[in-house]
Amino acid sequence: MTAARDKSYDDSLTAALTDPDEAAAYIDAVMELEDAGALLVALRQVAKAHGMAEVARRADVGDKTLFRALSENGNPTLDTVTKVLHAVGLRLSVASLHT
C-alpha cells in the first residue's frame, strides 16, 4: 500500500519559486546547462509561480505577449526577459566563466 502524498512535485516547485533566492538559484542552475529551451521552461515556471497575469501587469507586457514569449515555441527578446525577471524580483547579471 502506498501513502498519499501531501503535495505534488509541481505544487512544491511552484511554492519554492515564489522565493526570490530559490528562483534565482533555479534559473542560475538552468543557465549553466546552456540550453535555451530549458531556460525558457525555467522562466515560464517562475512566471507561473508568481501568476502569469500579475507578472504581465508588473512587467508592463500584454498577457498574450507574455504567454506567447514564454510558450514552448517562444523566443522572448532580452527586453522581455529583463522585464519578467524584474517583475518577480530578480535581475539578469553576468559572471566570468573562469571563476
Measure the CA–CA gap between 86 and 99, rounded to whole angstroms.
Answer: 26
Specify the pLDDT at position 65. 95
3-state class (DSSP) for residue 81: helix
Q: φ and ψ at 68, to 5 degrees? A: -65, -45
Specify the pLDDT at position 46. 97
* Residue 1: pLDDT over 70: no
* Residue 4: pLDDT over 70: no
pLDDT digits (tens, 9 = 90+) for 82-96: 999 999 999 999 888
Specify the pLDDT at position 66. 96
